């Protein structure tokens, strides 16, 4: 993401709302940034106005990239809407600020997807819709993900879309896929769609990062 900004020393913000602003996650972000030529920031959502003296727009729109944490997507979306962060992220998208993340941090950009954010079972979550269609993370890591995703697309309950194994990802410019990447051998991405009434899973072979 730092390279994608095209900046020599990009400002990169970590947005850990889905993890309830986990201090461990924020520390891990700073540790990951330590060997890189970047300016790292963390923007918590559980804040109060005495210490949070800048608006969401002042912080987020000053960044070159925004990395969103994993965690509870449903809660993330509810908090962002309550705070107006979703509106600011749309402005960031429109300005070409690099946006990304894993798990909840990848799901949040699509129209909808499968989530474990509710009790008992995987379910559908509606998200921000910057990327059209649906998404399923953890495609190879959680046994129920693949069959449920295909079932929902097959029944018409969910739009066609893209699934990612752990350690694989998609890079979009606007709504066009420009790169399919992986950080682990064997990790892949998939385009899941309906063809003549049947679910088709098209494997998207990645380049290794």
Burial class (CB in 10 A: 0-12, 13-18, 19+), 195: exposed
Instruction: Measure the CA–CA gap between 96 and 186, rounded to whole angstroms.
Output: 31
Rg of the chain over all Cα atoms, to the nearest angstrom: 17
Give me the DSSP letters along 136-201.
Answer: ES-TTTSTTHHHHHHHHHHHTSS--EEEE-TTEEEEEETTEEEEEEESSTT--EEEEEEETTEEEE
Which one of the listed residues 26, 103, 117, 136 is annotated catalytic? 103
Name the residue among 164, 145, 146, 159 with its Cα closest to residue 194.
159
The two beta strands, 168-173 and 176-182, are: antiparallel
Q: Check 26, 69, 136, 138 and give the catalytic one.
A: 138
Active site residue 138: yes
Active site residues: 103, 138
């Amino acid at each position: 993401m730092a390279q994608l900004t095209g900046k020599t020393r990009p400002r990169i913000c970590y947005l850990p709302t889905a993890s309830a602003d986990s201090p461990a996650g924020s520390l891990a972000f700073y540790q990951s940034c330590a060997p890189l030529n970047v300016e790292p920031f963390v923007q918590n959502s559980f804040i109060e106005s005495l210490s949070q003296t800048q608006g969401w727009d002042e912080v987020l729109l000053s960044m070159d990239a925004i990395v969103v944490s994993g965690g509870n997507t449903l809660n993330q979306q509810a908090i962002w809407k309550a705070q107006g962060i979703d509106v600011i992220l749309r402005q960031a998208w429109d300005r070409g600020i690099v946006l990304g993340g894993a798990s909840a941090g990848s799901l949040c950009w699509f129209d909808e997807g499968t989530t474990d954010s509710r009790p008992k079972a995987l379910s559908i979550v509606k998200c921000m819709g910057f990327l059209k269609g649906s998404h399923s993370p953890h495609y190879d890591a959680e046994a129920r993900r693949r069959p449920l995703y295909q079932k929902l697309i097959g029944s018409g309950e969910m739009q066609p879309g893209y699934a990612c194994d752990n350690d694989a990802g998609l890079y979009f410019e606007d709504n066009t896929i420009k790169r399919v990447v992986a950080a682990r051998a064997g990790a892949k991405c998939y385009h899941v769609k309906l063809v003549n009434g049947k679910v088709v899973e098209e494997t998207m072979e990645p380049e290794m990062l």
